[in-house]
Amino acid sequence: MKYDEMGAPANSEPEVDPNADTDVIEVAQGVNRVLTRSEAVDIIEEICTYHAPEGDQGERYNAIRGALRVFLRAIDNNCPPCADRSSAIRKAREAAMTANAAIALRGLV
């Protein structure tokens, strides 16, 4: 966290005019470039839109779920009940959901 000269937390958020196409913002983890406001809005809309599976996407989702099932069973069979086990299960689910999002969004983010 950054602090101003008085020791108060400094506002690290850039001031952006939401109506200006010339302002730039950084969006979504994984996006390694600065986007115009218009590009950011388009990406946000795409992220928040339902994407019905097309082509081989259903098969790819099933492959992710199958791998998740095997991994979760390995965790269940080998890890004692504890906070780390719960965290491993939660993070594996999150990884599968993120992988499915990559498929649905065709690598957009």
For residue 28, give its domain range.
Answer: 1-49
On whether residue 42 sits in a domain, the answer given is yes
In a shared domain, residues 1 and 45? yes
In a shared domain, residues 15 and 33? yes
In a shared domain, residues 90 and 70? yes
Low-confidence ranges of the chain (pLDDT < 50): 12-16, 22-27
The whole-number pLDDT of residue 32 equals 60
Q: What is the domain count for the chain?
A: 2
Report the sign of the C-alpha dihedral through residues 27, 30, 35, 38, in that order: negative
What pTM value is reported for the model? Answer: 0.64
Helix, strand, coil percentages in the chain from 3-state DSSP, rounded to 5: 50, 5, 45
The whole-number pLDDT of residue 39 equals 85
CA separation for the pair 28, 26 (Å, rounded): 7
The whole-number pLDDT of residue 64 equals 97
